[in-house]
C-alpha cells in the first residue's frame, strides 16, 4: 500500500474532492482525519468509511479560525499519535463580476481559501518538523494561474496558494518536508452542480478531453504527491485540467 501507516489530514473532506481523497488515501493504507466545517455530513461520511473497514475519524474545523485549526490539529495528533500528510483541500466560491463583488464576499473567500491554508500549514508544521519528514499538498486552481471571469476573489486566493507553496517548498525542503500543489480545472463537484447545463456544455467544449474532471482525478494526484514516489518533487504545481490551458 502506498500510504501504509501514514496519517493524513484532509480539509474539506465531507464532500467532493476531499471525500474522494479520504477514501483513496484510506484504501492505500493511510489513517485519515476528515476535517470539515460541516459536522453532520462529516460525521456521516466518517461512519460510511469506517463501515468499509477504513481507519478514519472526523474532526470539525473552521479553517478561517486559528483557534479552531489548532484544536483540530492537536486532536488529530492525540487521536492518531502523529501526522505525516496535510492536504489543504477546503475551499469556497462567492463568484461575481468585479463591479458587483461585495467586500464581504471578497474577504470570506480570502479567509477560507488563503488564510485557511496558512493556518492549517503553520499549525501542523511543528509536528512535521519534529518528525523530520512530511508532505504538504495545497489546492490551487487554473483560475489562480490564468484568471477567470467573475472570480476576482477566488483567483486571487488560488494565485496566493501558488506563491505560498513555492515559498514553503524553499523554506521547508531541508527539514524533510515536501510542499506541492495541484491546480484542478473544471471538476464535477457540488460547486459545478449549481452551474446551468448550457454553461457546463460550454466548459466541456473548452477541454481537449471533452469532459469535466471527476473528484477521483484530483484525489489520485493528491495520492501521488503524498506517496514516496514523489519524494523528490518539491515546489511544483501539477495541473489536472484535461489540457484546458495548453
The domain that holds 135 is classified in CATH as 3.40.50.720
Q: What's the pLDDT score for residue 99?
A: 98
Cα 26 → chain centroid: 16
Q: What is the mean pLDDT of the chain?
A: 96
The beta strands (E) that lie in 77-191 are given as 85-88, 134-139, 177-184
Counting beta carbons within 10 angstroms of the beta carbon of residue 78, is it exposed (0 to 12), middle (13 to 18) or buried (19 or more)?
exposed
Distances (CA, A) of 149 to 146, 153, 155, 210: 10, 11, 9, 21
Task: Look at residue 78 and tell me whether its pLDDT is greater than 90.
Answer: yes
User: What mean pLDDT is predicted for residues 178-205?
Assistant: 88
Identified catalytic residue from 37, 54, 146, 154: 154
Confidence of residue 65 (pLDDT cuts 50, 70, 90): very high
| Inside any domain, residue 91 | yes
Catalytic status, residue 222: no
Q: Residue 212 region, left (φ>0) first, then alpha (ψ -120 to 50), else beta?
A: beta
Helix-helix angle 152-172:103-110, to 10 degrees: 30
| The pLDDT of residue 195 | 76
Tell me the C-alpha distance between 193 and 148, whole Å: 18
- Cα 145 to Cα 138, 162, 173, 202: the distances in Å are 14, 8, 23, 20
pTM above 0.95, yes or no: yes
Establish if 217 belongs to a structural domain.
yes
* Domain around 226: 7-240
The answer to the question of residue 45 being in a domain is yes
Which one, of 243, 239, 192, lies nearest residue 218 by Cα? 239
201 domain-assigned? yes
Q: Of 12-21, 46-55, 200-209, where does mean pLDDT reach its minimum?
A: 200-209
User: How many residues does this entry show for the chain?
Assistant: 246
**pLDDT of amino acid 137:** 99
Per-residue confidence at 199, pLDDT binned at 50, 70, 90?
confident
- pLDDT score, position 81: 98
Asked if residue 1 is part of any domain, the answer here is: no
Contact between residue 140 and residue 183 where contact means Cβ atoms under 8 Å apart = yes
- Read off the pLDDT band of 37 (50, 70, 90): very high
Rounded distance between C-alpha atoms, residue 91 and residue 63, angstroms: 9
Which cell is 163 given? 506563491
- Report the candidate in 22, 16, 148, 164 with the shortest Cα–Cα distance to residue 85: 22
**DSSP 3-state of 101:** coil
Q: Which grid cell sits at 13?
A: 473532506
How many distinct structural domains can be found in the chain? 1
Amino acid at each position: 500500500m502506498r500510504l501504509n501507516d501514514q496519517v493524513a489530514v484532509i480539509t474539506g473532506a465531507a464532500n467532493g474532492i476531499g471525500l474522494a481523497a479520504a477514501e483513496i488515501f484510506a484504501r492505500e493504507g493511510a489513517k485519515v482525519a476528515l476535517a470539515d466545517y460541516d459536522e453532520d455530513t462529516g460525521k456521516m461520511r466518517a461512519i460510511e468509511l469506517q463501515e468499509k473497514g477504513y481507519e478514519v475519524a472526523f474532526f470539525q474545523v473552521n479553517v478561517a479560525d486559528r483557534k479552531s485549526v489548532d484544536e483540530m490539529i492537536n486532536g488529530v495528533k492525540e487521536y492518531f499519535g502523529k501526522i505525516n500528510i496535510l492536504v489543504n483541500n477546503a475551499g469556497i466560491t462567492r463568484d461575481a463580476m468585479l463591479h458587483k463583488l461585495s467586500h464581504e464576499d471578497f474577504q470570506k473567500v480570502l479567509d477560507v481559501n488563503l488564510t485557511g491554508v496558512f493556518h492549517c500549514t503553520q499549525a501542523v508544521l511543528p509536528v512535521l518538523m519534529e518528525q523530520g519528514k512530511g508532505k504538504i499538498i495545497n489546492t490551487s486552481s487554473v483560475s489562480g494561474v490564468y484568471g477567470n471571469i467573475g472570480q476576482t476573489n477566488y483567483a486571487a486566493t488560488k494565485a496566493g496558494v501558488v506563491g505560498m507553496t513555492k515559498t514553503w517548498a524553499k523554506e521547508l525542503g531541508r527539514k524533510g518536508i515536501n510542499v506541492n500543489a495541484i491546480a484542478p480545472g473544471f471538476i464535477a463537484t457540488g460547486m459545478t452542480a449549481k452551474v446551468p447545463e448550457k454553461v457546463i456544455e460550454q466548459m466541456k467544449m473548452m477541454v481537449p478531453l471533452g469532459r469535466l474532471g471527476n473528484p477521483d482525478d484530483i484525489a489520485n494526484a493528491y495520492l501521488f504527491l503524498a506517496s514516496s514516489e514523489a519524494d523528490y518533487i518539491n515546489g511544483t504545481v501539477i495541473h489536472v485540467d484535461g489540457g484546458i490551458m495548453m
